[in-house]
Amino acid sequence: MSDPQPDPGAHGHGRPHSVVLAGGGSAGHTSPLIATAEQLRALEPDITLTAIGTARGLETRTIPAAGLPLELIPPVPMPRKPGVDLVKLPIRMGKAVSAAAAILRKAEADVLLGFGGYVSTPAYLAARRLRIPIVIHEQNALPGLANRLAARFTPYVATSFPSTPLPHAQWIGLPLRTSIVDLADADEQRRRTLKTRARAELGLDEDMPTLLVTGGSQGAVRINRAVLEARTGLLREGIQILHVLGGNNLTEADVEMFDPQTEAVYKPVGFVQEMEKAYAAADLVLSRAGASSTLEQALLGLPSLLVPYAVGNGEQARNATAVVEAGGARLLDDSTLTGDVLLTAVPAILDDPDRQAAMAEAARSVASSEASARLARLTLEVASDKKTAGD
């Protein structure tokens, strides 16, 4: 990715821009927020950035760890059925909107950049009340409630997938971590070097076909169970497995195994601190179809077996569609996923170098390494327009 260029109008109105970013609850919201914040600082080093979150979300750890100031507002659960929470919703929302408005005023925000999730709804409503322009980014192919609301009163709508049904939608891709983009942009020789190094650090054979299994930060019970059923057969086929079970799913029973004939190893871990190393080591990925993991794998040209999570509004199945239709991934059904299914699906790809190469090329066509820079530039343009119009 080319280096971002500073915005020539950034200091034209007496102070650096002030951008407030809203998004939390899960890594799906905080990861693109952090990636875009990195680019905003690259474009304007003395920019003022403030993140809004709640005490319940992952953002209480990830946002400060990324060096971003975090301000908290009261959480507002969005009830899906009648009950006490629905009765309390107007009062809770009112308090959260007031808290978000106070943060926007304190930050002297030029623009609100929202990534969806529960925390974004009160932030959007507060910004609208204060007439602060809003830029939104929707990570999933099927948009969430907060961004469906905000898209009704802002023309600045960016999406990860081309088919996302939102007004004013402009496809830019998903803002991804710098470490992932750097790996994607590495030339072939550099990628080979990184693969060799990653496999050595992870205790894997340098030359053996490698399956990476991951269910996201919390793991995926259905995927984990199917892999345990298939692992003996896969090792017998000479396929080594790096299995990221999820921190809460790793037990004393999850131990390293290897096949004495092929010397293929099964390595179970709770989590991988630097996921780019796991990606660098892999030839094939078996995972859920969250937007971040799906598009990270696509950008890296990693063939994948995607198992959309069946709970929710079907957004994971929609996320998988673009990569599957391009030919970069195969879709597996959660309800019928078993070890026998994997014993057929995994070797069919790893034993066929031509198929791997075709899937890799197809996957890359779906993702963009420029998303975080494009979203950062759009945000600064909107902020500059507000300054030009007069605060």
**What is the spatial distance between Cα 227 and Cα 242, in angstroms, rounded to a whole number?**
11
Indicate the residue type of 40: L
**What is the spatial distance between Cα 332 and Cα 297, in angstroms, rounded to a whole number?**
16
**What is the spatial distance between Cα 11 and Cα 175, in angstroms, rounded to a whole number?**
25
Is 26 annotated to bind ligand?
Answer: yes
Is 312 annotated to bind ligand?
Answer: no
Q: What tokens were used for 217?
A: 């930060």
**What is the spatial distance between Cα 289 and Cα 295, in angstroms, rounded to a whole number?**
9
**What is the spatial distance between Cα 244 and Cα 272, in angstroms, rounded to a whole number?**
7
Question: Which of 46, 70, 50 lies closest to 60, judged by CA?
Answer: 70
Residue 378, C-beta contacts closer than 8 angstroms, at least 6 positions apart: 135, 156, 158, 172
Is 39 annotated to bind ligand?
Answer: no
**What is the spatial distance between Cα 58 and Cα 104, in angstroms, rounded to a whole number?**
21
Is 203 annotated to bind ligand?
Answer: no
Is 217 annotated to bind ligand?
Answer: yes
54: left (phi over 0), alpha (psi -120 to 50) or beta: beta
Per the annotation, binding residues are: 26-28, 140, 177, 217, 316
Per the annotation, binding residues for UDP-N-acetyl-alpha-D-glucosamine are: 26-28, 140, 177, 217, 316
